[in-house]
Structure 1
């Protein structure tokens, strides 16, 4: 939240540090897609699982199919922001809007992600995560016809507003929400595993024209799932 406040308070000068030097602070760049990656870091995800989750994104950013999708549109470039979330008290922008127009740009983004420390927080607030991710589209660095939130997680909302209410409001604003539920067979803080998490994401989380989800069957399957998902949603 501190990062969000800083960006809004100081304006263009701070925003200029979050994007490649080729983009001026006073320039609005047209891109094929603005994609907010929203990643669950609630305490149900342990350190090993968090590592597998982040490694999946690092591999996706180096995958030829994903790179071809990112540079295959009419403008041959997209913008990505990476946020992490847990309960209503915790959403943060790990990497702000970055222009991805080449393999080196994707590698630079991946390097920043790899160097970012992992933080785990309590509760699972999918609705609050969607609301926070949507605020990124209000920032005036990039412009695109397509606005997509890519949300992944291993649990249902147990804190904050119902995900479906937030989802419906964002869809009215022209935002598409795609999902990546992570199915697990292990208990969650003593509770049975949420075997129907894919149904929850289908009914309560994803929305908008062409919205879809890709299911990861455990954290070991996350890398495959996110590569397939990013290729599809960017294309």
Structure 2
């Protein structure tokens, strides 16, 4: 009887160990690269936009530069509050630029992650990180992807890793929060963007018209819990 009990316990232990190993093996890695900005091919996955499309005078560029430790992306330009004379657009504000990724081939599934991390070196301005998801929020007249936004303050000087919990991204429509109680579906992500405004942001950040520059090494998804 004791021998049978020992065999049973050994079998149960082996089964438990096998199940534990299988679960761990199926778990996704604790971090997942979404973008790396070390080549011109990576830069081609993005396009620029600014208030110049609506009569503003801001401008931006996205390039790859070589530096110690490898190539990095550089998003830079000039923010202007002025509006082009004779513009047919009746814009009420200007002074913004952004870089937006082209739509992914399908969806990026980040359901196993809780945080977006960006490795940046900036100019003391506050930037806006945006995540675009499949359109399921029913907003009047909205035909575009849903957008979820969070501020990213980038200190001047050394490289800095900004970590933004997905729960901190708020649903927005044309820059305005539409319902802070809505929750993002992280399994249906279509793209991302990084933008900067001349006005607004977090207290203490540099603001106003003028030049801006932020270097970007990578964007990752993290599982911190």
TM interval, shorter chain, is under 0.3
Q: Which has the larger radius of gyration?
A: 2
Specify which structure has the higher proportion of strand.
2
Normalising by structure 1, what TM-score?
A: 0.26
Instruction: Pick 1 or 2: higher relative contact order, CA cutoff 8 A, min separation 6.
Output: 2
Normalising by structure 2, what TM-score?
A: 0.27
